[in-house]
Amino acid sequence: MKNFFATATLWFLFSAFITVAAQAKDKLEGLWYNQEKTAKINIFKATNGKFYGEIVWLKEPNKNGKPKVDENNPDKAKRTQPLLKLQVLKGFEKDGENTYDEGTIYDPKNGKTYSCKITYNGNTINVRGYVGISLIGRTAVWERVAE
């Protein structure tokens, strides 16, 4: 009987450890201000293990008294989609300790999607969008939102 309780206790502790480890957040996850601090983007890890980001706050959420929409989207059917909850980061994979790549970033200001790489730097991340090779692109510095 003692062995049963010892085994059950060990199994419970092991299960609890696995559950906590599985729920541990990656350092990239959380809320980030874009470079201009006009939007907050929530970066999260999806069940497929990749990282995504969606707009969850806008400094100016309305235009002409109505919620801002994705008016520059190349797909005319999506031009009435609200900017809030719009997914702007897609499909990033962790590549090393502080680098995330293989993803894309969508710029609702011009309706274009770019290849993208993110580098984690503590309370900031470098978000580099580019076409072709990363040498030809632009880097924006996003700051973590104090929680």
**Per-residue pLDDT for 5 more than 80?**
no
Which CATH class name applies to 26-144?
A: mainly beta
Report the distance separating Cα 117 and Cα 136, nearest Å.
12
**Per-residue pLDDT for 21 more than 60?**
no
Q: What is the mean pLDDT of residues 64-88?
A: 97
**Per-residue pLDDT for 65 more than 50?**
yes
- Share the mean pLDDT of the chain: 88
Report the distance separating Cα 50 and Cα 60, nearest Å.
29
Q: What is the mean pLDDT of residues 18-25?
A: 56
Alpha-carbon torsion, ordered 126, 127, 130, 136, to 10 deg: -20
Domain boundaries, the chain: 26-144
Higher pLDDT, 116 or 7: 116
How high is the pLDDT of residue 1? 52
Could you give the percent of the chain with pLDDT greater than 70?
A: 84
pLDDT in tens, 38-60: 999 999 999 999 999 999 999 99
How high is the pLDDT of residue 24? 79
Q: Which CB contacts under 8 angstroms, 24+ apart, belong to 110-116?
A: 110/72, 111/70, 111/72, 111/73, 111/74, 112/74, 116/89, 116/92
